[in-house]
Amino acid sequence: MKQETIKKLESRGVKIKDLVPILYDLQKPYIPELTMDQCEESILAVLDKRDIQHTILTGIALDELAEKGMLDEPLLSILRQDDGLYGIDEILALGMGTLYGTIGSTNFGYLDKVKPGIIKKLDTTPERVNTFLDDLVCGLVAAAASRLAHRNKDLKELNIKQSTD
């Protein structure tokens, strides 16, 4: 299911490569020795999680169905206008962001507000409905950031066992 999830993200205009620098900028201040490769590895590892795959596939399905007009009103208009008070996209993405620890919530909220790089572009693609997609991407990067932070600490504690669970 991991490959279907990555393909689905790409079909909506999101390449893992686009997320790597966002994650790098987010964690570099805390992990000076961080590399782009480690960021890519962490995003791919997060995508192994069944909950992450389910969340991305479900959120994108709702975007696609809204785009095709295949949802009933009033939900259709809410998703098409990305109603600021519709919080289901946030709740799904937050669930991803905290799967590697609650510190993910801070990174999720920050990314969702600041919308760096590709995230901003997703949020402002008029011909597309990306109500869920931009939040999903924030949640994915936030989860990868939490994972990096915990693993970095684990390594420092020379406690590899911990990091394999």
Interacting residue ranges for its own copies, rule: CB under 8 A: 1, 4, 8, 30, 45, 48-51, 54-55, 57-58, 61-62, 65, 70-75, 78, 84-88, 90-92, 94-95, 98-99, 101-103, 105-114, 149-150, 153, 161-162, 164-165
Q: Which is nearer to its own copies, 94 or 118 (CB)?
A: 94
Quote the tokens at residue 57.
């596939």
Nearer to its own copies, 105 or 125 (CB): 105
- 10 Å CB burial of residue 119 (0-12, 13-18, 19+) is buried
Q: Report the distance separating Cα 18 and Cα 121, nearest Å.
A: 11
Report d(CA 88, CA 98) in Å as an integer.
16
Minimum separation from the CB atom of position 150 to its own copies (A): 6
- Distance, in Å, from the CA atom of 38 to the CA atom of 21, rounded to the nearest integer, reads 11
User: Minimum CB separation from its own copies for residue 35, in Å?
Assistant: 19
